[in-house]
Homo-oligomer: A and B are copies of this chain.
Amino acid sequence: MNVHSARELARVHQALAEPNRIRILKMLEIRPLCVCEITAVLQLAASTVSKHLSILREAGFIVDHKDGKWVNYQLNEHPDPKVVGTCFSHLARLLTNDETVLSDAEKVRSVDRHQLCK
């Protein structure tokens, strides 16, 4: 669905108005991740990461799936509202050379929830 009001559109952009949330979306471009993996990369409290994820979920950017004691988050393949989808395609082209994003990507590739969580 299209966004209906300036207020709704503002909320979508608000979700992207925080660097750590952008880093999370760039990480999820690589693969679905659970909260503890994201927490390990961002070096924030788990509760903080959980909050960021709920903001991204409510804005329509990501969806979650339970997997035992883990919760996997991934990019929403059927973005709603539509503007979220266009944000995705920009995001995919942006920050491809950003140091932090590149280093996050490397950590994503090496991180493993089974080693992480004892």
Q: Which residues of A contact B (CB under 8 A)?
A: 2-7, 9-11, 13-14, 16-23, 26, 83, 86, 90, 94-95, 98, 100-101
Contacts and interface: CB of A to CB of B under 8 A. Distances in A.
| Copies of chain A in the complex | 2
Main SS class of interface, A: helix
Contact of A16 (B9, B86, B98, B101): B9
Given A6-B95, A6-B101, A13-B16, 13 more contacts: A3-B94, A4-B95, A6-B19, A6-B22, A6-B23, A6-B98, A7-B19, A9-B16, A10-B19, A10-B21, A14-B17, A83-B90, A83-B94
7 contacts: A5-B19, A6-B23, A10-B18, A13-B16, A13-B17, A17-B17, A86-B90
